[in-house]
């Protein structure tokens, strides 16, 4: 009898071992989730209303670097997505903003513009995009290089720049949103795969827009937000009010696909497509690690319109929490718990709406850079006889008309000095200086380092100016980002899953550390412009 019990015990142990998944050498899939405009404090601000399996699961079972900062300016979308995946800064990567001014051609440049490619999936110009303007490799490029391009890499985002720049130069695909459909460019392929056409044929965006957007929970529970009806909020295009419920079903068909971007449902739509990509491209079923770069863009559209203290942004994050929980459960079921790695971060954070700050006696304000440019051009024309001396003003930088100034034989140094004096006379401007004389300028840290990391001789402007905290270039409704201040530069950084040791650190880490940390987990070379360091505490 004892022998029979012993044999049964041995059998059970052997059977259990057979069904226990052996540790894997590398994750089946890495998923990078970059939430556009996510402030670090959103991880905790709405925590009481989050479920247990979204943000809370990531924090409980994963590793969070609580003090992760962006180490450059300007803190914009294209630059942030680039930095997360390259570990590099604008001085090296070439991506100095969403837009910049090309001094050689005298024209503005959009970060992912590429006239040599064509749209795939629609007849619009929205697909004439590629990573051509990016000078360095991404961690997704390095993954492909590490195994002779066996890994599959796919980038997905509503915004073209949110899909293209993370996916890198050598990606199998990058898909972005245009008129209710997912499209791409001939940089990646000449025709959409059948599964993408099939997904597009469902017209899910229209189905989401057929329902109105009401709060997920009773609105009385949203006590961390301002009143729903505020005059400093912007409306969703096609609506008459800024309040819940948002009557999406009544928005005209002619604009509903664009209005869709400014709804929480567009985040769910992005996760829908991400799951379809995993299914149909068999991501995670490869002999090597695959990579899905998923950017969540509607958080940015909603945030710009309504601000970080709105009911809309709180509801958007409660819904995103559910989307993330659902996605993690999907990955558990599809690939197996502990067989994939996820990191969650943001491309930038966001400022409070100045009118909201004013309600609470906190300093802040708005200005229009177009007004500055016109005023300075008038002054230079009157005092020096040079018309259109400032060709462009963006990213808090002025691009000067060097050719015209030289043609007229004027002293450039005197004109620059006059412009700087005019800028410094503005009550909201704290400093102005020539960009190539940054290190001769008396500035505190971290401003000086962030400005140096953001300065690129070939693509940056000639004169930089800095503003008081709480001030930004933009209209009186809604909000924006782009500055050095912690409200724009403090972002979440959470790693979860295979290879990740649960815990947290409060030491200062940087956005540039994400890519080399992923590279260390995967035992591959870090990107060729990376200046970050591995967050060693999180690696098992």
Which residues are the active-site residues? 77
At what angle are helices 298-306 and 311-335 packed, to 10 degrees? 170
Q: How far apart are CA 345 and CA 539, in angstroms?
A: 17
- What's the Cα-to-Cα distance from 369 to each of 40, 225, 363, 457, rounded to whole Å? 28, 30, 20, 22
Q: Which of 510, 508, 505, 530 is nearest to 520 (CA)?
A: 530
- Residue 490 DSSP symbol: E
The Cα-based distances of 39 to 35, 67, 144 in angstroms read: 9, 12, 31
Cα–Cα dist 13/256, whole Å:
59
3-state secondary structure of 511: helix
Checking 432-440 for CB contacts under 8 A at 24+ apart, the result is: 432/463, 432/464, 432/465, 432/466, 433/463, 433/464, 434/462, 434/463, 434/464, 435/397, 435/460, 435/461, 435/462, 435/463, 435/464, 436/462, 438/464
The answer to whether the CB of 75 falls within 8 A of the CB of 348 is: yes
DSSP state of 246: B
Residue 263 has phi, psi (to 5 degrees) of -135, 155
Q: Output the six-digit token pair for 227.
A: 């009143």
């Amino acid at each position: 009898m004892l022998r029979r019990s012993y044999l049964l015990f041995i059998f059970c142990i052997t059977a259990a071992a057979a069904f226990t998944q052996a540790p894997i050498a590398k994750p089946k899939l890495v998923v990078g989730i970059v939430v556009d405009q996510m402030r670090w404090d959103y991880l905790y601000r709405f925590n009481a209303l989050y479920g247990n399996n979204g943000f809370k699961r990531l924090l409980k079972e994963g590793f969070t670097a609580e003090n992760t900062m962006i180490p450059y300016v300007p803190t914009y979308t294209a630059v942030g997505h680039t930095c997360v995946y390259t570990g590099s800064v604008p001085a090296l990567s070439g991506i100095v903003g969403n837009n910049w001014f090309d001094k050689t051609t005298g024209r503005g440049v959009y970060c992912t513009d590429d006239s040599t490619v064509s749209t795939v999936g629609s007849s619009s110009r929205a697909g004439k995009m590629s990573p051509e303007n990016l000078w360095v490799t991404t961690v997704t490029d390095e993954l492909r290089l590490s195994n002779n391009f066996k890994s599959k890499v796919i980038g997905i985002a509503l915004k073209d720049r949110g899909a293209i720049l993370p996916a890198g130069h050598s990606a199998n695909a990058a898909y972005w949103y245009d008129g209710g459909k997912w499209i791409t460019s001939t940089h990646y392929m000449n025709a959409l795969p059948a599964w993408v056409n099939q997904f597009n044929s469902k017209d899910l965006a229209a189905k989401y827009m057929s329902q109105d957007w009401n709060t997920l929970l009773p609105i009385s529970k949203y006590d961390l937000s301002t009143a729903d009806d505020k005059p400093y909020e912007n409306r969703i295009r096609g609506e008459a009010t800024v309040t819940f419920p948002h009557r999406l079903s009544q928005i005209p068909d002619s604009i509903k696909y664009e209005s869709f971007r400014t709804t929480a449902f567009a985040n769910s739509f992005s996760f829908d497509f991400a799951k379809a990509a995993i299914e149909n491209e068999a991501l995670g079923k490869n002999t090597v690690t695959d990579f899905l770069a998923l950017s969540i863009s509607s958080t940015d559209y909603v945030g710009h319109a309504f601000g970080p203290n709105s009911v809309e942004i709180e509801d958007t994050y409660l819904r995103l929490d559910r989307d993330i929980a659902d996605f993690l459960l999907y990955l558990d079921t599809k690939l197996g718990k502990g067989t994939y790695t996820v990191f969650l971060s943001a491309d930038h954070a966001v400022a409070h709406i100045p009118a909201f700050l004013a309600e609470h006696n906190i300093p802040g304000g708005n200005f229009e850079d177009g007004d500055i440019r016109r005023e300075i051009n008038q002054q230079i024309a009157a005092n020096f006889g040079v018309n259109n001396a400032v060709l462009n003003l963006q990213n808090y930088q002025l691009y000067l008309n060097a050719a015209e100034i030289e043609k007229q034989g004027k002293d450039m140094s005197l004109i620059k000095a006059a412009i700087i004096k005019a800028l410094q006379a503005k009550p909201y401007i704290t400093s102005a200086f020539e960009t190539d004389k940054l290190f001769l300028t008396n500035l505190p840290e971290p401003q000086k380092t962030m400005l140096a990391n953001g300065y690129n001789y070939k693509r940056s402007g000639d004169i930089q100016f800095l503003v008081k905290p709480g001030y930004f270039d933009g209209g009186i409704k809604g909000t924006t980002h782009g500055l050095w201040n912690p409200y724009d530069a403090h972002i979440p950084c959470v790693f979860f899953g295979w290879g990740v040791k649960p815990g947290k650190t409060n030491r200062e880490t940087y956005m540039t550390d994400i890519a080399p940390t992923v590279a260390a987990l995967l035992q591959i070379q870090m990107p060729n412009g990376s200046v970050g360091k591995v967050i060693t505490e999180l690696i098992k």
